[in-house]
Amino acid sequence: MLNSRVAVLGAGMVGVATALELQSLGAQVTLMDRRNPGQETSYGNAGVIARSSLMPFNHPQLWKSLPALLRNNTAALRYSKVFMLRNMGWGLSYLRHATHSAFQETTAALDALIRLSTAEHQRLLRETGQAQRLRDNGWIFLYRSHAAFDSGQLGRDTMAHFGVRTQVLDARALSDLEPVLHHDLFPKALWVQDTYSVDSPGQVTAGYARAFAARGGSICTRALRTLQRNGEGWDVLDDSGQASYFDQVVVALGPWSKQFMGTLGVNVPMAFERGYHMHYAPGAGPARLQRPVYDTGGAYVLSPMEQGLRLSTGVELNDCDAAPKPVQLELAEVAARQALPLGERLEAAPWMGRRPTLPDCRPIIGAMPGRRGLWLAFGHQHVGFSTGTGTAKLLGALMTGQATPIDARPFRAERFL
């Protein structure tokens, strides 16, 4: 049992799930955020709970595609040259991890975390009355040529190695599964069956936070500035300078964790893989998309959401809070209109989010070295909506000194801090 007052900073999926877990372990938990729960990165993602998302972007074959990516004109990856020059250390470390041994370690770690997380989401969605938001019909990777399909062999081998169920589809089988797609554009596709998705990741996060509050948890809306040691515990200081005392603190501020840890003199090697989304009305015709699809050639994911069809983009490496540059969304929209009938845009401006990414593409989950009572849970890159729940389970075990449900070592802060 955890008989202490704990502040969880950040009410995205990672913070909310952590607050729920620590509460269930007996702690008196306060969840703190400047916004209501689930309104930032955990709102705007593609909503996929993907057993297949094991491959870090810096897999060993990155070297082959690097020259094309460095041209800085693809829909999959754009980067700010100024950002990359200022973050050269991160970039070099990221590339240094594009090796077979790092790949094996990361894929095994993410597989364990995602399996744990998926089971936890199923439980929490049931407990919070949101089971109807969960689809269990997988997602589909679309390939615009046979050569493109062949180049995805490492991904398929990795999924096979970890027992992820998949089925290769030709154009006709794809059309049977998703009649809305212009299947002639996609001679090959891969249906990843072991994958779930939700119709509103923001609502799921908010629903978990409501359950936390209903079970006696406290939610506090405050912009936070820093922490100060106070005896055995910590003062959390907000922007007005007001201090609140807690025995233990969990930093789960997603992409803003880097800036916040900087106020404590800790340099977190995190980059921001920014991405955009826009909702669209369904196009003409009776057929509707049944599950998320990832058009590998168009470099976008299209997910059916309660707001409409959510088109989300690839990666833009840039400062966390630099002005939006939604060029990739324009490209993705053109590509998506080739793939299926897409109606009008439903919002005036695209949404922008940031995937918080550490050089080995694994989050930090565990104790902050040398600062007793300070715990870290951030850096969940492309899979934080999926893995917030497993993160919570792992951190709960670490904080209570219990046996951990999965190996905690690949996630420890000492890798970088």
Ligand X SMILES: Cc1cc2nc3c(=O)[nH]c(=O)nc-3n(C[C@H](O)[C@H](O)[C@H](O)COP(=O)(O)OP(=O)(O)OC[C@H]3O[C@@H](n4cnc5c(N)ncnc54)[C@H](O)[C@@H]3O)c2cc1C
Burial string for 46-70 (b: 16+ CB within 10 Å, else e) reads: bbbbbbbbbbbbbbbebeeeeeebe
Residue 182 or 210 having the CB closest to ligand X: 210
Residue 11 binds ligand X (CB under 6 A): yes
CA nearest to 197, candidates 285, 88, 76, 289: 289
Contact residue for ligand X among 56, 207, 217, 254 (CB under 6 A):
254
Residue 15 binds ligand X (CB under 6 A): yes
Helix ranges (DSSP H) in 36-195:
41-44, 62-70, 81-86, 88-96, 100-127, 146-151, 153-161, 171-177
Residue 207 binds ligand X (CB under 6 A): no
Residue 380 binds ligand X (CB under 6 A): yes
Contact residue for ligand X among 35, 96, 229, 409 (CB under 6 A):
35
Residue 299 binds ligand X (CB under 6 A): no
Residue 183 or 335 having the CB closest to ligand X: 335
What is the smallest separation between the CB atom of 90 and ligand X, expressed in angstroms?
17
Residue 164 binds ligand X (CB under 6 A): no
Instruction: State how far the alpha carbon of 328 is from the alpha carbons of 69, 149, 186, 297, in Å.
Output: 14, 22, 21, 13
What is the smallest separation between the CB atom of 261 and ligand X, expressed in angstroms?
11
Residue 175 or 359 having the CB closest to ligand X: 359
**What residues does 191 pair with on adjacent strands?**
140, 167
Do the beta carbons of residue 79 and residue 66 sit within 8 Å? no
Q: Which stretch binds ligand X (CB under 6 A): 61-69, 92-100, 334-342, 377-385?
A: 377-385
Cα separation, 166 vs 169, whole angstroms: 10
Q: Which stretch binds ligand X (CB under 6 A): 5-13, 67-75, 98-106, 226-234?
A: 5-13
Two tokens, residue 57: 């972007």
What is the smallest separation between the CB atom of 309 and ligand X, expressed in angstroms?
14
Residue 383 binds ligand X (CB under 6 A): yes
At residue 386, what are phi and psi to the nearest 5 degrees? Answer: -65, -45
Residues 300-319, one symbol each (x = binds ligand X by CB under 6 A, - = not), give ------------x-------
Residues 222-251 interacting with ligand X (rule: CB under 6 A): 223-224
Residue 53 or 158 having the CB closest to ligand X: 53
Do the beta carbons of residue 239 and residue 224 sit within 8 Å? yes
Do the beta carbons of residue 385 and residue 45 sit within 8 Å? yes
Q: Which residue has the tokens 């009938």?
A: 341
Cα separation, 179 vs 183, whole angstroms: 8
Contact residue for ligand X among 2, 7, 10, 185 (CB under 6 A):
10
Report helix, strand or coil for 120.
helix
Cα separation, 361 vs 83, whole angstroms: 19
Residue 13 binds ligand X (CB under 6 A): yes
Residue 386 binds ligand X (CB under 6 A): yes
Residues 332-361, one symbol each (x = binds ligand X by CB under 6 A, - = not), give ---------------------x-x------
Residue 99 or 122 having the CB closest to ligand X: 122
Cα separation, 289 vs 303, whole angstroms: 8
Contact residues toward ligand X (CB under 6 A) are 10-15, 33-35, 39-42, 45-48, 223-224, 252-256, 260, 275, 277, 312, 353, 355, 378, 380, 382-386, 388
